[in-house]
Structure 1
Amino acid sequence: MMNKKNSKIALMLVASAVSVALTGCGSDGDDGKDGNPGLPGGTPAEAIEQLKLEVLSVSYADNIPTVKVYATNEDDEAVVGLKDFSIENAAQLIPVGASGAGNSANWQKLGSTSTFVDNKNGSYEFSFDSFDTDTFNAELTQRFNIVAEASTLLDGVTSVPVSEIVADFDGEGYQALYTKNIVSHEVCASCHAEGEKIYHKATTVETCITCHTQEWADGRGKPEVAFAHLVHNVHNSNKVWGRNDYTAETAHAIVQDNCQSCHVESEELTEWGNWTRIPTMETCTSCHTGIDFVAGEGHSQQSDNSNCIACHNASWTEEIHTGGFEQKKAFIDMYGLTSTLMVNSDKTATISVTITDAAGSAVDASTLVSKIQRIETITNVGPNFPIMGYNASPGNGQAKVAYDLVRNGELGENVSVEAGALQYTLPVLPFGEYSPAGIQDTDTAFTFIGLEMCNDGTAAVDCGDDIATTSMKADLVFGTLSGEAASMRHTDSVAFNTCENCHGETFEIHKGYHAGFIMTEQLGRENADGEVIVGVDGCVTCHTPDGTYASGGNQGALEMKLHSVHGEQDIISDCTQCHNDFNLDAFKLKGALATSAGEYTTPITATCASCHGFDEIKAHAEGQGGVVNGTYEDANASAQVEFCMGCHKPTIFDHTAVNM
């Protein structure tokens, strides 16, 4: 006879799986498990770039499982000789409400094992020395989290990359009827590097979830380390976490409290909408701090989750957590910019900015000026190697030209509205001056434009104290002295969509100090394949070879800045996270880069050192003709002499590649 606990769980499973069960109506019953096809023969893998794991079968004897796993490499060759290999956790899924009214479904650990037999054909048979047979319930979904650590084969030579999978079955080894997958590994990997430890050990979210169970956390007296609480805690800075009281400022700046950064609708995720349907005290207190439910502080008093859904229904929960972000995106899409830069015969240049509506039709700027917090323009000369510094460049004494066409709802001095467009004439620009990129590059001026508008969340309003502002779509425009086609910086190394993978579509770059720049299709240019690419080339109006406000003291040149900032925050570990290619020929157009206050470094060396460290590569680089933190003159004289590419041929997939 089934006991009361198991009877209750069985009823929960019936409710959870009813839609799946109905698909079998009209059949002749269970056809049984499919047998495993014969394993391929052939020579075992001699090299393993990618380790692929698959659970072939799960069988039970006396309620103890035996799990058969198959391992292959990227060429589907059998991998023989794995040693650092384990079932990190075997767990079962307690259904929604089974552990208490209103409680979410939670995994419950049953055991782990590193005991296996290598069958010498790519298959491995795991057995459990210790397994909680008293807790095991064949009515529940069973999960096996298989982990092969980054190591070598038994030969001690052949390297093995890390690989982690989870496989879910029912309690007899058949296909699971119900599981709980809310967020995909792919979403996490858009920020966290593939194959790299997310925190202390795991490289996939499924491993984290299977380990950080609610029961395990409660048993340690640390309910805050249960995954549902912890994962939100480490992505917002509302409270510290971990034994060293970490703050999640970097992650918070990226996620920006936008639930949909991680909770993405997917047909492959059985429970992607779970976050709106099943609110719990454990999850909500990870972001909403200062609440004591039991004491009734900060919220009405309640001792459990049984009444949460009475107020926090799914549609309201989704609306309150996502409505602001959807409104912001809708407001950003209400306006755009169409700009021109006309170079005059006296080497001044006239910039014209037309504001457009969502349909692309021009809007008379005079009707919007009072609603504009700022229209910022930043102009430089020489897109491939700007010759105007953020501060005055040592080369020509010129600094970039920054001017606000509108500020705080008022036109800037000498700005006019002509035929509905804002116009301003820039001062004389250094066209045609020497540049390592050639005088054809300094024939081109370019202006990066940021728009910041006052709004009430849904519509533009007059600017004033305590009025919210939103950065809008940025624009980039070119003009030439000769009248010939403009020189443009390459966009085939970094496309902005890789930035959006972490930062999202409404990332307001540098908002506060600047108007803020939202990089959209408005900046797109076609590449050689006819694809529209949104680059980061507009950023070099400020992030010049001479650095930014610290004149090199903070590695402000674009070639270094992104490396140094993301590296300091331990965000990047793989070039492919940001790069879609390396345009190594671009170095042929570059001179020295400011790498310290008043000191310069040859361009390839500076770029490499921004990840690898200046002290670390100094001796090697100088031995190959590079200059590290030397004078402006010496570093520029050696810019095209450094011999790095004579040996190094980096690719985004292997930046250590050499040409011997």
Structure 2
Amino acid sequence: MMRTYKRSILAAALIAAIGLAGCSDGDDGKDGAPGEPGAPGTPGTPGAPAGSVVDTVASAADFVLSLAPADIVVVGGDDFAIKFTVTGKTAKGEDVPFSGLDKVALYVMNQAANTTDTGAPLLWESHTLTNEFGSSMYCTPTGMAEARGGAEVEACTLVEDEANPGTYTGTWEHEGNAPVVLADGDANNLHRVMVRSYDVVDSTGEGIADKLLSTPVDFIPATGELAVSEKDSVSNASCIKCHTQMDGYEATDIRIANIGAHHNYQKVENCVACHNPAYAGGEDDPEKGFNANWNAMIHTLHAGHHIDDLEGEAAEMFGEIGFPSEINQCTACHDNGMQWNDNVYAEACVSCHTDVDLATGENHLGIVPESDAACSGCHGAGSLSPMQAHNVAARAIATDSIEIALNSVSYTESATVDMDEMVITFDVTIDGVAVEDGFEFTNFTKYDEMKTGWIDTDGTYYGSASVNLNGVAASAGQLMVTQLGEFNLDGKSISVTPRFSVCADSEGMLIECLDSSGEAQYDVGYVAVTMAPAYWNLANADGSGATISRFSDPARVTADEAKCNTCHTSLGIAKHYGNERFDQCVGCHNDTWGGSYHVAVEYKTDAVDENGDPVFETIEGLTYSNRDLFTVAHRFHSGLWDDNRGFPAIHLNSDMETQGYPAVATECAACHKDDVSLFAADGGLTSGKRAIAVDAGATMFISPTAEACRTCHAHSSASAMAHFKSNGAIVEGDPASTANLPVESCATCHAEGKTYGIDIMHAGGAH
């Protein structure tokens, strides 16, 4: 016992000593020798190299989901299956697998022959709508998804291949087959599949602004071959002419940038996934007022501003849409085949001709067709065919056939007031043949004016006077017109530009505008003639050495008439004056004839008058006192207008938002030339314009660069005006009495290539 006790005391003492040593500062001990290194561990599985996959993208165009027909099962008795790959761009612009996708929606349809006598020859059929499941089917990792309304719905099970990141498969793990599979469908029909992806973010965690939609795949399931739809009579390129093209996509995958409905499904091919015969009808329902089938709805929508009897949702959604071309010009949109002319059926016709009741024959000469098969009996060819009944291309034919050209000018300046004499001779041909002696334009014209302005040495246009051709008889193929007045043009260069339009029939032939009883008899009115602006130097008898307007110098014009015409078809349609070129418009729209018929800016309130028409109110403090061409073009297209001459197709609503402009508002290239600077080397405008007159006598002036910015809605505020003034601009409301204004300093920050350059600030809808 004694020995045991002593050992216990010794152990306690050792423990106490060790404990005390552990509480010391450690300076009195020495480190022991290092131990032997341990054996190497088992190597782990190598990780993916940095940057070999991504789970974010900067834009929708950087996200590419690819499908192949061999990986899609959506028809017949086989189980649903789908496989696809997804890539995303790295910060270096490299395409690598996109990992982590956890929700998609599949849109599946097929194109089948119509076996009835009613409707289009080919019809789209949505698989999910046919199976009463909705417009699409979700796929998620859990096989369940939350639908738009918040309800939980069955979904296909989405699995990413761990061995191949960015490769995904979808299967149906619920009872029966997936709702995108059409069990009794025809595998020989063209099928279309499009996939929408959800919940994809950029590197900051923000959601991608645009929808992430795959390129639609058209194929024949029976063979696995790719196919081309015969129904696609309107291409995406046609829509883009007005609605702007999305950036970043391949030339083979162009997409529409600015479609407000459903936040933009980007392609015509995608729209028909829902807008197909499954949703047809509704035009007879006063609460709806339109047929939601694509071929009908798209007509009603674009004709909205022209249809007086729209009601319900149609009136609310479409009633203010103004088609920028002529509504009867079918080829303005139909650019892919002649289906629009060859396939005549009621559904398409009455979507524009809403006052026609084919059940009673009302507004159809009492004719009640038994079925659509009977329509071609009258409308299949001849004057009642869509091509001829709509006068398609008649305007262009008429314009091309009638040509007026300046032959000569003689001028005598008189000491007597108002007795300066100008004699102008024009050559006139129709279909290339000089007009006969005695021919007059009288009775054929809507406007018959030839404007005679003069050009300063710097290319600035000044209005002077005009001559009228009505009442002048032709001799030897020429019209000679004399005008007297106080012109004071001796030795100057003059410009002769048309404000001239005529009437034509359905064949594009010149026709008298009124019949013997005074009723209109033309098919196409306000038709421009072919006439280039002409310049004549009054200092030389032969007119040589004339100074031309800056509007006729391509290097000084940054806007592009061809781009205007992509949406308007012809600039002559926008107004009735027969002007199809900027250097014709300059006769009125120039920087020296101040004033405006639309000084105040009005917005559309939420109120209506006793007739149900919208009420417009003035925006206080916002005025424009010039009719310069860019001022008018910018103002009108951004909605800074009024209703003085009828409802403006583009206007501001009560929230001060621009309504009716079809393109992306900040896309300058929609109208301006590509790769052309808006600023000159000296900081002024490329045009050389340095001042704009704001009164009719051209005695008061403002700066042009600030006015160019202010005429767009985003820059029309009081704060913007203060910014302009602080940077050297002479502005509306505080004009100068000289046209010799200093160049504004706008280009210092906003010239192309600068940090805040117009090309940067207007990129990607920056406003």
Q: Normalising to structure 1: TM-score of the pair?
A: 0.72
| Alpha-carbon spacing, 1:290–1:556, altered in 2? closer, same or farther (3 Å) | same
Cα offsets for 1:546-594 (capped at 9, x unmatched): 4454385555211221122122222342222211134423726323335
Secondary structure in 1 aligned to 2:302? coil
Residue in 1 that maps onto 2:109: 91
Q: How does 1:62-81 map to 2 (within 5 A)?
A: 62-71=78-87, 77-78=95-96, 80=98
Match of 1:22 in 2: none
The correspondence for 2:334, drawn from 263, 269, 272, is 263
Structure 2: tracts of 5 or more residues without a match? 1-50, 129-135, 141-157, 173-177, 247-256, 414-419, 601-623, 640-649, 651-660, 763-767
Q: Which residue of 2 aligns with 1:330?
A: 397
1:609 aligned onto 2:717:
no
- Kept after mapping to 2: 8 A contact 1:103/1:306: no
State the shift of 1:287 in Å: 1.2
- Residue 232 of structure 1: CA displacement? 0.5
Q: Are residues 301 and 453 of structure 1, via their aligned partners in 2, closer, same or farther at CA, if it must alter by over 3 Å?
A: closer
> Where does 1:111-510 land on structure 2 (aligned, <5 Å)?
111-113=136-138, 115=140, 123=166, 125=168, 127=170, 131-133=179-181, 137-139=185-187, 140-147=189-196, 152-153=201-202, 155-156=204-205, 164=213, 165-171=215-221, 174-177=224-227, 179=229, 180-195=231-246, 196-200=257-261, 201-202=263-264, 203-217=266-280, 224-236=291-303, 237-238=306-307, 239-240=309-310, 242=313, 245-247=316-318, 251-252=322-323, 254-264=325-335, 266=336, 272-299=337-364, 300-301=367-368, 305=372, 307-309=374-376, 311-313=378-380, 318=385, 320-321=387-388, 324-340=391-407, 342=409, 344=411, 346=413, 350-359=423-432, 362-363=434-435, 366-370=438-442, 372-373=444-445, 374-382=447-455, 386=460, 388=462, 400-407=463-470, 410-411=471-472, 420-425=478-483, 427-429=485-487, 443-458=492-507, 459-461=509-511, 464=514, 465-466=518-519, 467-468=521-522, 469=525, 470-483=527-540, 484-489=545-550, 490-491=553-554, 492-505=557-570, 507-510=572-575
Contact between 1:82 and 1:153, CA under 8 Å: does it hold in 2? no
Q: Contact 2:191 / 2:220 at 8 angstroms: preserved in 1?
A: yes
Query: SS of the counterpart of 1:640?
Result: coil
* Separation in 2, partners of 1:154, 1:338: 61
Partners of 2:425 and 2:383 in 1: how far apart? 45
Counterpart secondary structure, 1:641? coil
Taking the aligned partners of 2:356 and 2:205, their CA distance within structure 1 comes to 53
Structure 1 residue runs without a partner (length 5+): 1-40, 267-271, 389-399, 433-441, 520-534
- Which piece of structure 1 moves more, 139-148 or 570-579? 139-148
How far does the alpha carbon of each residue in 1:30-85 deviate from its partner, in whole angstroms, 9 at most, with x for none? xxxxxxxxxxx967697659445542453338442414144466967346368697
Sort the Cα spacing of 1:186 and 1:118 in 2 relative to 1 into closer, same or farther, 3 A: farther
Distance 2:479 2:165 in 1: 69
2:669 corresponds in structure 1 to 576
Structure 2 Cα separation of the partners of residues 578 and 84 of structure 1? 41
Percent pairwise identity: 17
Match of 1:619 among 698, 706, 722: 722
Using the alignment, how far apart are the partners of 2:537 and 2:497 within structure 1?
A: 15
Change over 3 Å in CA distance of 1:601–1:552 after alignment to 2: farther
> Within 2, Cα distance between the matches of 1:601 and 1:336?
38
- Conservation of the 8 A alpha-carbon contact between 2:300 and 2:351: yes
1:450–1:473 CA contact under 8 A, matched in 2 = no
Pick closer, same or farther for the CA change 1:188–1:354 going to 2, 3 Å.
Answer: same
Q: Describe the shift of the 1:72–1:601 C-alpha distance in structure 2 as closer, same or farther (beyond 3 A).
A: farther
Q: 1:364 to 1:279 in 2, by over 3 A?
A: closer
Q: Please, what TM-score do these two structures have when normalized by structure 2?
A: 0.63
Deviates more, 1:92-101 or 1:204-213: 92-101
Residues 1:641 and 2:743 are matched in the alignment: yes
CA contact (8 A) 2:161 2:167 kept: yes
The equivalent of 2:689 in structure 1 is 590
How big is the shift at 1:336? 0.4
Question: In 1, distance between residues paired with 2:279 and 2:67?
Answer: 25
Across the aligned residues of Structure 1 and Structure 2, the Cα RMSD in angstroms comes to 4.3
Task: State the SS of the aligned residue for 1:620.
Answer: helix
Is contact 1:552-1:599 (8 Å) kept? no
Q: Hey, what's the Cα distance between the residues in 2 that align with 1:126 and 1:456?
A: 60
Per the alignment, residue 8 of structure 1 pairs with none
Query: Counterpart of 2:126?
Result: 108
Give the SS at the match of 1:566.
helix
Match of 2:629 in 1: 558
**SS at structure 1 position matched to 2:98:** coil
2-structure distance, mates of 1:176, 1:126: 21
Given residue 532 of structure 2, which amino acid in structure 1 is its aligned partner? Answer: D
Distance verdict in 2 for CA 1:378–1:188, change over 3 Å: same
What is the CA–CA distance in structure 1 between the aligned matches of 2:398 and 2:596, rounded to whole Å?
32
Post-superposition offset of 1:626: 1.9
Q: Deviations over 1:151-189 (max 9, x none)?
A: 743652696765643211223681255633221000111
1:367 partner SS:
coil
Q: CA deviation at 1:298?
A: 4.3
Moved more, 251-260 or 56-65: 56-65
Structure number with greater Rg is 2
Q: Deviation of residue 650 (structure 1)?
A: 3.7
Counterpart amino acid of 2:479?
A: A
> C-alpha distance in 1, partners of 2:383/2:476?
47
SS in 1 for 2:685: helix
Secondary structure of the 1:105 match is: strand
Q: Determine helix, strand or coil for the equivalent of 1:380.
A: strand
| Aligned-residue offset at 1:428 | 4.8
Deviations 1:210-254 (A, max 9, x none): 221120345998661111110010121224373553455654451
Choose between structure 1 and 2 for higher RCO, CA contacts under 8 A separated by at least 6 residues.
Answer: 1
Q: Is residue 212–residue 226 contact of structure 1 (8 Å, CA) maintained in 2?
A: yes
Q: Cα offset for 1:642?
A: 1.5
Pair 1:132–1:336, CA change in 2 (3 A) = same
